[in-house]
A = this chain, B = another copy of it.
Amino acid sequence: MNGIDPGWLPPEAFRPLGARRVLIAGSGPLVDTVRREVSDACARFGGEIVRDGPYDLLLRLPDGEPVGDEEEFTVAREGGATTVTALGGRGLLYGLFQVVRLGEEAFSGALPREVHRPATALRMLDHWDNVAVHPVMGQVERGYAGGSLFWRDGRAREDFARIRAYARLLAACGINAVCVNNVNVHAVEAELLTDRIGEVAAIAAELRPYGIRTHLSVTFAAPVVLGGLSTADPLQEAVRQWWARAVHGVYEAIPDFGGFVVKADSEGRPGPFTYGRSHADGANLLAGALAPYGGTVHWRAFVYDHRQDWRDRTTDRARAAYDHFAPLDGEFAGNAVLQVKHGPMDFQVREPVSPVLGALSRTRSAVEVQATQEYTGQQRHVCWLGPMWSEVLRFRPEGGAGPTVGESARDLVAVSNVGDDPFWTGHPLAQANLYTFGRLAWRPDADPYRVLDEWIGLTFPSAPERLADGLHAVLDGSWRTYEKYTAPLGVGFMVQPGHHYGPSVDGYEYSPWGTYHFADRDGVGVDRTAATGTGYAAQYAKPWAEVYESVASCPDELLLFFHHVPYGHVLRSGKTVIQHIYDTRFEGVEEAEEARRVWAGLAGLMAPARHERVAELFEEQVRSAREWRDQLNSYFLRKSGVPDAHGRTIY
């Protein structure tokens, strides 16, 4: 496609494969995709698809066995030939992309037999895309990469090649599910479930050849708003029948439909609370309708009081998900997935891991992260989130011996950061977040920096070492840099209300959203201890309940999330809180300036359009970082009265 960035699948990445003799054994739609990929590569680089030996690469499904959705594959190299064996079409496709990732290494020396198997069942992207442009939220809610890939002017786009290209990028990092519309389901979008399912089917047809199933966000009130029933009560037989008929219609149109995503009783959305029913009742209603077809319902745990009175210190939004859902563990159907945001608040740059993720031993759960950078620079700042996600996925809710979050979660979900921007993600380097998400979803214990290596190797094939080093220098620490110049020590929510870009220290301090820092002239932070605070810390199992409960053991980076401390409190780092605030603001800006300098030195090592777009965005990032530094420093100097120990300029 003219003018559209190839992302991590530039033609050049297929050179090693495309110069070889390749034998493909097996049949089925996804094998056809594999064959087309190989054929295109060979046409470009002089290799060929052969019908029998000798070959350099064998891509095979087992003879005679039924071919399903199995994702596992094995790669080995013996006797001068490389073999990828898979149990199903998806596995073969993933194996092909693994060969692409390996590059020449796939064809040189010996490769010990390696079995690749995803740790998670569903690796999903949720698009918060509206069909009709929303008057406040626009086409894509919290989208920073242009319009929707799927919808425009109130209809499905007919840009099918673009959707197919997108599916190909997703498959190449292991994603196998896409939800095509916003979790906030407005009036127009509600109709996708019934009258307009054909439009969803058209999108599904483009995603399917790359092994991606289509999911749909639906409104819990659908029986009322679409079906004309007087109730959406999950325990009413008429409601159950309505959903059964609706789901039947969906599968008539999309036989491999993935399932529903539901945001219920959240920020004004309808839900089972309206009828005095539990969220298990609500989720199980939809799960029951989907079960005969193998579909799942992703039920979001993002339920809290968004009309809180800021004067009320007893209510703690951080507690809400646990309070609502932990008591329901074990009550959800097997194909109901509780989709839990990784932190208890809302995708802040630093939050503790949600205690809900340690409280669901008898519920299938999905961890939800946000690839779209709502609170992390909105794709105008470089902020590679791999290390943050990796910390979450490696966290052990029960401490040393217990499983990690990544081991417990059946599914991983990211809110998509993709739109119809030529670079897909607005900021060209934000592609790394999408790629990293896919790979960590496949293997949550992967080293994110190795994943970044992969992304660099694919996106910039045969890049000189200087470019790879520069990209690492710019990306590796970018999340911590962003944290340094924005809200400090885990306190969160110092953003401009509404759009959430740029600083406003008190922007959410007297709001109904449950997002407070309680800074006064003496100190700052939220007391969430069991002893004197909201009790949130006690939602964790040991050892974390104890670690977080005590100022002495709480990690510095989460201190203000769990404790209200005086500005003179000495951190484990040896610095006072106030000096830490000043120092990290100054450091963060310096690091952003340094990244901009490094980037400038990479000119000439990539396509000029890509370099220039990033260079322009760095100007905005540095401007914005300085604004964060100066506003926060002035705010805390005015409040605390404590001067900077190093006498730097605070306005």
Contacts and interface: CB of A to CB of B under 8 A. Distances in A.
Interface of A: 310-311, 503-507, 510, 519-522, 627, 630-631, 634-635, 637-641, 651
Contacts of A505: 506
Given A521-B638, A639-B639, 19 more contacts: A310-B651, A311-B630, A311-B651, A503-B510, A504-B506, A504-B507, A504-B510, A506-B506, A510-B630, A510-B631, A510-B635, A519-B638, A520-B638, A520-B639, A520-B641, A521-B640, A521-B641, A522-B641, A638-B639
A635 B651 CA distance: 20
A623 to B, nearest CB: 11
Contacts of A651: 310-311
22 contacts: A310-B651, A311-B630, A311-B651, A504-B506, A504-B507, A505-B506, A506-B506, A506-B635, A510-B627, A510-B630, A510-B631, A510-B635, A520-B637, A520-B638, A520-B639, A520-B641, A521-B521, A521-B638, A521-B639, A522-B641, A638-B639, A639-B639
A639 to B, nearest CB: 6
Contacts of A634: 510
Nearest to A518: B638
Contacts of A506: 504-506, 635
Contacts of A522: 641
Nearest to A640: B521
A519 B634 CA distance: 11
A233 to B, nearest CB: 32
A388 to B, nearest CB: 27
A639 B636 CA distance: 10
A326 to B, nearest CB: 30
Closest 3 CB pairs of A and B: A520-B638, A311-B651, A521-B521
Nearest to A634: B510
Contacts of A637: 520
A634 B517 CA distance: 13
A106 B510 CA distance: 56
Nearest to A632: B510
A640 B520 CA distance: 9
Contacts of A631: 510
A504 B310 CA distance: 13
A482 to B, nearest CB: 19
Nearest to A626: B311
Nearest to A502: B510
A522 to B, nearest CB: 7
Nearest to A310: B651
A635 B518 CA distance: 10
A640 B503 CA distance: 23
A50 B510 CA distance: 68
A628 to B, nearest CB: 10
A311 B634 CA distance: 9
Contacts of A521: 521, 638-641
A637 B518 CA distance: 12
A511 to B, nearest CB: 9
A274 B310 CA distance: 47
A641 B637 CA distance: 15
A639 B518 CA distance: 11
A614 to B, nearest CB: 26
Contacts of A520: 637-639, 641
A118 B484 CA distance: 64
A44 to B, nearest CB: 46
Contacts of A503: 510
A640 B522 CA distance: 10
Contacts of A639: 520-521, 638-639
Nearest to A506: B506
A310 B635 CA distance: 12
A311 B521 CA distance: 21
Nearest to A520: B638
Contacts of A507: 504
A287 B520 CA distance: 55
A106 B391 CA distance: 86
A510 B310 CA distance: 22
Contacts of A630: 311, 510
Contacts of A640: 521
A565 to B, nearest CB: 15
A651 B520 CA distance: 12
A310 B311 CA distance: 30
Contacts of A504: 506-507, 510
A521 B578 CA distance: 15
A519 B639 CA distance: 9
A325 B83 CA distance: 82
A639 B640 CA distance: 9
A575 B84 CA distance: 84
A497 to B, nearest CB: 8
